[in-house]
A = this chain, B = another copy of it.
């Protein structure tokens, strides 16, 4: 039964383990710094960034979820927290009464701008300072390939979910 399995080669295993170590170390590093600097998870910061880049600093919840790669539920919980801090405001949408808008408040923008320099510094220190230009370019290629591969995979899964029994 194991004969069909394409196990990883020695080299692939080494790379995979380094990948796991590097990504978890990096995300824990950013997480810790963001928690200290702004008192929120790194992912919440990315939500604020997404909002700040939208016209009028406003997006529909579902659109914000896509841009932040949050599930609807996760975003709903997150925005509840961010609203409690006064950094985001929810408004109900008149054209589609199911919908809701999320808007970055002035206070939210201030927090974002205050946290940004430290965040960039952290990303630089952990990533771009240790890579040369060639490696940065390659990393772009590699991550692009992963994204494309998984995007296909996701579409396939959604297609399966959509179809009932035939």
Contact = CB atoms under 8 A, between A and B. Distances in A.
Interface of A: 1-2, 5-8, 11-12, 14-16, 18-27, 29, 46, 69, 116-117, 120-121, 123-131, 135-136, 138-151, 153-154
A150 B69 CA distance: 26
Contacts of A7: 120
A7 B147 CA distance: 25
A43 to B, nearest CB: 9
The DSSP consensus for interface residues of chain A is: helix
A123 B8 contact: yes
A142 B138 contact: yes
A24 B150 CA distance: 11
A135 B136 contact: no
14 contacts: A1-B117, A5-B120, A8-B124, A15-B136, A18-B144, A19-B139, A22-B146, A126-B146, A131-B145, A135-B138, A135-B141, A135-B142, A135-B145, A138-B138
Given A25-B150, A130-B149, A143 B18 contact: yes
